[in-house]
Amino acid sequence: MKPTPDLAQLLAIMAALRHPETGCPWDIVQSFESIAHYTLEEAQEVVDAIRRGDLVDLKEELGDLLLQVVFHARMAEEQGAFAFPDVVEAINRKLIRRHPHVFGDRNAGNPGAVKELWDRIKAEEKAERAAARAAAGLPDDRPKGLLGGVKTALPALERAVRLQDKAGTVGFDWNNAELVLDKIAEETSEVREALRAGEAADIEEEIGDLLFVMANLARHAKVDPETALDKANAKFIRRFRAIETALEALGRTLADASLEEMEALWVAAKTAEKA
């Protein structure tokens, strides 16, 4: 792979930042583990820009995400594991292999046939990776069984939905959303009991169970829970800002207002939105 001038410059910048003698002190001390949360954060900011329809921000955020790829690849290169061209070569090879209906002689005339072909090739690749890990003496400690293929790195709500989808393929599922609502009532009762008992571990567990069932309700209603929660967050910010604005107009601050006053302003903001 011969990088374009701009990409070559980015790779050179990253190498300079990581130079042990003349590089940036912050960049030098980073590791895969220390920047992992930044990688996740940048991916989330890409998604946020897409959801807002902001292509100016999207260009910027995609650049930030690309930097994360370059950063990880540079650290791997320093360890002699792989380099950025290897990352690009691997994804090129994967895309060509998974699209034999485009780059080969296989036929897939509709999206369903494409997915079936894709899944079959993914299964072959998974077996090959397992064999390669075994040959390298690496332990196979990844989750097993039907749910083992659901990625652990997914956001918790999305992972919950995918786990439920997988279980649903063998009939382990509620028949409709009404039954899920009954389960939510049951889990809410268990949360209440845990709160009364005051055991922190039990409270955490029961709230987790309730969130898991809430994700299932969204799934049955064909709603993306991440998107729904993002919109709820935006609504909360909007209405809370309305409280602040109303108080500012009176020459007051949040610290000056009582809970009852803030609640009244909240209701007013909610009413104004629905008018």
Task: Please tell me the class of the 5-135 domain.
Answer: mainly alpha
Q: Which is nearest to 68 in space by CA: 99, 115, 101, 34?
A: 34
Q: Do domains 5-135 and 149-223 have the same CATH topology?
A: yes
pLDDT band at 34 (very low <50, low <70, confident <90, very high): very high
Decide: 185 and 209 in contact? Cβ < 8 Å: no
Q: 238 is written with which tokens?
A: 């909007």
pTM (two decimals): 0.65
Question: Cβ neighbours of residue 122 under 8 Å, at least 6 residues apart?
Answer: 98
- Which segments of 138-199 does DSSP mark as H helices, in order? 156-168, 177-197
Superfamily of domain 149-223: MazG-like (1.10.287.1080)
Tens of pLDDT, residues 72-90: 999 999 999 999 999 999 9
Phi first, then psi, for residue 263 (nearest 5°) are -65, -40
pLDDT at 92 over 90: yes
Question: Rounded CA gap, 163 and 121, in Å?
Answer: 22
Tens of pLDDT, residues 107-156: 877 888 888 888 888 888 888 888 888 888 887 766 678 888 888 878 89
pLDDT band at 1 (very low <50, low <70, confident <90, very high): low
Q: Indicate the domain borders of the chain.
A: 5-135, 149-223, 226-274
For residue 188, the model assigns a pLDDT of: 97
- Mean pLDDT estimate for the chain: 92
Question: Rounded CA gap, 11 and 253, in Å?
Answer: 49
Neighbours of 8 (CB within 10 A): 11
pLDDT band at 2 (very low <50, low <70, confident <90, very high): low
